Amino acid sequence: MTGECLICAKHRGEGPLVGHRVWADEHVIVSHRPVGNDGTTVLGYLFVESRRHAPSLDALTEVEAVAIARAAWRAARGLRAELGPEFVFSAIVGRSVAHFHQHLFARYQNTPEQCSWMDSAAWPGSKRGGLDEVADLSARLALHLG
């Protein structure tokens, strides 16, 4: 829809949110969190997004909601199989960008209790990687989504 939407821009391959695309179909785009200024990111942090600009969960069509639920379920199973995490967390918040997106991310084994669920990567033992590691993991996750 709009020129200012950061997620619509991302889907066009533009802007600060662009990350490695893991999988997509006509309704859903699944991508990995982009690398930061240090050239790395936590591995196993995905975004499941509606291809159409819909501002929130309740604004999705039923067909889109089903497609997103299926993609999130498959991606969660992929994260479980590929990373063996303690948990796979999922969150739909939508306060920062008004384009439907679901966070889906691994909490690694032995993450200290003091790391909150939404900041699971904030400890030295979390698995980080650069573009090559993200591309490799994304390719493996895509097999679970296809």
- Using CB under 5 A, list all residues that contact Zn ion: 5, 7-8, 53, 99
For Zn ion, the closer CB: 1 or 122? 1
Ramachandran region, residue 86 (left: φ > 0; alpha: ψ -120 to 50; beta: rest): alpha
Residues 6+ apart with CB under 8 A from 52: 1, 27, 64
For Zn ion, the closer CB: 30 or 137? 30
- Judge whether 27 and 52 are in contact, CB under 8 Å: yes
For Zn ion, the closer CB: 8 or 42? 8
Kindly state the helix (H) or strand (E) to which residue 79 belongs, with its residue range: helix 62-83
Structure tokens at 17: 């949110």
CB 4, min distance to Zn ion, A: 9
CB 29, min distance to Zn ion, A: 11
CB 1, min distance to Zn ion, A: 5
CB 53, min distance to Zn ion, A: 3
- CA Rg value for the chain: 15
For Zn ion, the closer CB: 8 or 35? 8
